[in-house]
Amino acid sequence: MTTWLITGCSTGLGRSLAEAVLARGDSAAVTARDVSAVEDLVAAHPGTALALALDVTDAAQVAEAVRAAEERFGGVDVLVNNAGYGYRGAVEEGDDADVRRLFDTNFFGAVAMVKAVLPGMRARRSGAVVNVSSIGARVCPPGSGYYAAVKAALEGMSGSLRQELAPLGVAVMAVEPGGFRTDFAGRSLTGASAPIADYAETVGPRRKENDTVHGTQPGDPARAAEAMITAITSPEPPALLLLGTDALSAAGAVLDAQRAELEAWRELSASTDLQD
């Protein structure tokens, strides 16, 4: 039986993943800032589910959640850093305090969770860390500069962490979902409070009040959960898992454009080496 610790289980992908791992008979510490939002999961799986109040920006709650999960289940086999939210606005419009909160939750909160579970995983020489990123980290759409940045930071950390932990038997996988039928573009989306008129054409269509995507996303959260389970429990989990045909298409387009630009500027790039 595998034990999971999943952050951000009140709605969306975190909720679907919690339901899926519990349905397959695994144990799970399911967390939310408001613990009442996940108590029904424990009611449905009293022997294998543990509901925990967790704000990943609160160091004491992070430590207590990991301690409680390890005490109840004997250890955490898979940590899933899913807690987070979106933020839209032009880079110039971003409120400093809002941006810091975004990074505190989406990046530093994930780092805190990783640091809290790694002593146990290293001691057992087994385990897995799953960091939920976004295709936004790759495509960097206008109006999502800070969200793309925080997810790119999460992926950069994941890449190094993967190499550090591989010799110790711990796997690391980043996940890039495309658009899924969750509340991400609804309740969970925040934005800059003081729009600048010059960005009406580039950022305007993506502002929360103008967004038309919510409720029409192509991705099925339940299928995403099953895909994540399949990948992280495989003998060799991928470093990066894309979720959704839209994510695949977008990533392919970005890679093609990057390759074309690399070739176009190859001669200049190569000209900077010291000449003997």
d(CA 212, CA 145): 19
d(CA 263, CA 255): 12
Please pick, among 10, 16, 27, 133, the residue that the annotation labels catalytic. 133
Residue 208 annotated in active site: no
Our CA dihedral for 61, 62, 66, 69, rounded to 10 degrees, sits at 50
Residue 133 annotated in active site: yes
Distance between alpha carbon 151 and the CA centroid of its chain, in Å? 7
What number of other Cβ atoms are within 10 A of residue 210's Cβ? 12
Please pick, among 87, 144, 146, 147, the residue that the annotation labels catalytic. 147
CB contact at 8 A, 144 and 88: yes
Sequence letter at residue 232: I
Please pick, among 27, 87, 151, 199, the residue that the annotation labels catalytic. 151
d(CA 73, CA 68): 8
Residue 10 annotated in active site: no
- By annotation, the residues acting in catalysis are 133, 147, 151
